[in-house]
A and B are shown apart, each in its own frame.
Chain A
Amino acid sequence: MHLSSLGQSLPDTSRRTVLRGLGGAALLGAGIPLLGACGGSSSGASDTKTVTVGSNASDAVPKKGYADVYAAFTKQSGVAVDINTKDHNTFQEQINTYLQGTPDDVFQWFAGYRMQFFAAKGLASPIDDVWKTIGGNFPSAMHDLSKGQDGKYYLVPLTTSPWAVFYRKSVFQQYGYEVPTTWDAYIALCKRMKKDGLVPIAYGDKDAWPAMGSFDQINFRLNGYDFHVELMAGRASWTDAKVRKVFDTWAETLPYHQEGAVGRTWQDAAQTLVAKKAGMYMLGMFVAQQFTDKADLDDLDFFAFPEIDPAYGQDTVEAPTDGIMLSKKPQNRAGSVKLLEFLGTAEAEEIYLKADPSLIAASTKADTSGYSALQKKGYEMISQAKHLTQFMDRDSRPDFTSTVMQPALQKFIRDPKGIDSLLSSIERQKKTIFASS
């Protein structure tokens, strides 16, 4: 009756039969064993010439990018790639049942705790052999990001992009602003912008995740990378004075943030930066997607989140990384390893980035000559970083971040009073969630 044995006892189950049933099975946790029982009759695709890929790249641009990469692989190796694309959000919501059923040989996923969680549950295979071949293509920070808690490699990183403070060069020129590198300079700049009639910091947290980015930046500037890791892993306490200080520091900047953030999407907030009504916007590099006019996009620039404690400087960069993992019992292991080795080369990343220029290659070997100025700067920032973090919901348990942190941070940015009771509530809820498994 154990689900984990489902795939092992039925290696020949037709993937499609099970996949089709999984939609219903997701509603009916108890229905899964039934499904397993009726899937055994089909013959199965033990075709070693094909590797199947579970893909969450359902948007047009990344979909084309990955299709190009896989086509190049087939051309080079003669192994066909069968891409099974699912809607991006649906893929994430169903990842649990998907990986427990009969998943594709390899599947696209995110680096960080989100990868480690499934690795620890035995739902992915370690790929140390792949990393023996591709290891030299990646900086040490990417090595760390690709390892599970057991120290084995589980992910081949493909693309990444940094979080930073974005601004328009022309606005800074017009008012004679300078890029702030310290906290005091940052606050002084906010004050000046307010006086000049600008919204100093554009802000939108309707989708509830952007505020996590603000917390992360202040936290690792103030308390360092190691504390970020401890806190995200549930080991450090949210009632610690260090966390309290993060919220106090954050509260200091809230008067300079755009009003009514909880009702605004990040896209709408980005539009105020496009319209030159806002001076700065702290977000991921994907903010560039909102700059549809070429002239506006060329005007977009960014700087690293300012230093708060000189002991940590600006050594940590939040750079969510996406990659690909090997499922727990791939039908074509040899072909999958070949594919993963190919995806770990600079060549594969270059092909992908040609189709999707809003991201940066995870490999330092990739050719950067085709990069835009923004991409080049992002690349510099990531390759010089001492530590790379992912994002609160990629560095910590997603059930904790979505059910506890998202509403808590929304409450805080709307009304920053009562931090202590908020923090003790977070800590109490955290204890139950982290204790549950």
Chain B
Amino acid sequence: MSSETTTKIPEAAAVPPPGATTPQRRFPQGHQRLLTRRDRLTLGLMAGLPTILHVALVWVTALASILLAFTTWDGIGFDSIKWVGLHNFTELFTNNPQFWPAVEHNIVWFVALILIPTPLGLFLAVQLDKNIRFSRVYQTAFFLPVVMSLAVIGFVWQLIYNPDTGLINSLIGANEPGHYIDWIGDPDLNLWAILIAASWRHTGYMMILYLAGLKGVDPSLREASALDGANEWQTFKNVIFPTLRPTNTVVLVVTIIEALRAFDLVFVFNKGAEGTELLSILVTNNIIGESSRIGYGSAIAVVLLVISLAVIIPYLIATFRKERQA
């Protein structure tokens, strides 16, 4: 709004009608009162500081890591940065035994979250939406894991999975030599073991999202479908679920983000050892430490960035298109 007034003013001031005392002539004075020097300073600070912080912390770092992805650097002195072109990437794609498993596990993470906790969360939400008795108790119980940090969840589930002293192996006697189940170390098992822990949390998250969506469904729709003689499943399939479309979009985006940023749970669980490699963990392992491979780690981060953009850009385009149509 104010930008419109400010853009108009210079024109008005630039060609003042000679000798006239029209209201237009006093307009600039009014403008001066509107935005004093102090106001401009305040506005400048309010808009400028966040911009500087945003540019420095988001854009500069992102661009810096993209640039660093084409170099080798041990993090000691800027003179040790060496340009190596695409070497880090060829190295990554052809020579790193953990890279492709990590990509695969990120994808598995996404598919598993969509296939297991999402329908489960929807199911729970539908049940809770019926205002059954103790509805709030169930709601709290299922949502509780979402409140906890993933790192804490990692510690809790380790107590369950610990192959020697954990709950499962102690109960089924699988901590004896001969019929030993190594939930944490066996690459055929550990990813799934962690995914169960992740799903445990994700279910509550999905439940709350769907519950919010269901609260927004017009009750007259249900009535109408009941009058038409539809049973509960038919009502859900043909009436309720289609109205949840916006919620489904949010769920999809949230789940993709969860799959891409998966890190803390695995890091606490077994630091991304055999079978649980993830891109985020490879980035950390290469960059953090006393003599780090910052260029190489950045290359992995760039791969993660490209994957994220490939997912996010189509979503944003679709969202904006919808907004413009509306």
Contacts and interface: CB of A to CB of B under 8 A. Distances in A.
Interface in B219-252: none
A263 B77 contact: no
B288 interface: yes
A15 interface: no
Contacts of A29: 64, 68, 75, 294
Interface in A260-310: 260-264, 268, 271-272
Contact of A264 (B98, B164, B290): B164
A403 B102 CA distance: 14
B80 interface: yes
Nearest to B298: A29
A252 interface: no
A268 B74 CA distance: 35
Contacts of B177: 199, 259
Given A121-B76, A432-B91, A432-B95, A206 B185 contact: yes
Interface in A383-418: 397-399, 402-403, 407-408, 410-411, 414
B258 interface: no
A330 to B, nearest CB: 19
Contacts of B162: 263, 268
A92 B87 CA distance: 28
A79 B80 CA distance: 38
B79 A264 contact: no
A31 B53 CA distance: 12
B280 interface: no
Given A208-B273, A429-B95, A433-B293, A263 B61 contact: no
B285 A96 contact: no
B290 A437 contact: no
Nearest to A98: B290
B187 A93 contact: no
A397 B289 contact: no
A2 B77 contact: yes
B289 A399 contact: yes
Q: B interface, how many residues as a size bin?
A: 35 or more
B292 interface: yes
A375 B113 CA distance: 53
Interface string A21-33: 0000001111100
Contact of A262 (B164, B185, B285, B288): B185
A92 B76 contact: no
A437 B285 contact: no
A interface secondary structure, majority? helix
Given A2-B78, A429-B96, A30 B60 contact: yes
Contacts of B106: none
B182 interface: yes
Contact of B274 (A27, A97, A262, A428): A262
The B interface, classified by DSSP as helix, strand, loop or mixed, is: loop
Given A263-B190, A402-B285, A432-B91, A93 B290 contact: yes
B273 A407 contact: yes
A114 B72 contact: no
B184 interface: yes
B293 A410 contact: no
A423 B287 CA distance: 24
Given A1-B78, A260-B185, A398 B271 contact: no
B260 to A, nearest CB: 19
Nearest to B63: A30
A67 B50 CA distance: 44
A4 B77 contact: yes
A407 B177 CA distance: 24
Nearest to A436: B72
B180 interface: yes
Nearest to B282: A403
Given A260-B182, A402-B285, A268 B164 contact: yes
B155 to A, nearest CB: 13
A28 B61 contact: yes
A414 B187 contact: yes
B176 to A, nearest CB: 9
A228 B77 CA distance: 30
A19 interface: no
B127 interface: no
B186 A403 contact: no
A408 B286 CA distance: 15
What are the 3 tightest A-B residue pairs by CB atom distance, in nearest-first order?
A263-B185, A262-B185, A263-B184
Interface of A: 1-4, 27-31, 92-93, 95-97, 100, 114, 117, 121, 123, 199, 206-208, 259-264, 268, 271-272, 397-399, 402-403, 407-408, 410-411, 414, 425, 428-429, 432-433, 436-437
26 contacts: A29-B64, A29-B68, A92-B290, A96-B290, A114-B290, A121-B77, A123-B76, A262-B184, A262-B185, A262-B273, A263-B183, A264-B184, A264-B185, A268-B165, A397-B291, A402-B289, A403-B286, A407-B273, A407-B274, A411-B97, A414-B274, A425-B97, A432-B91, A433-B293, A436-B74, A437-B74
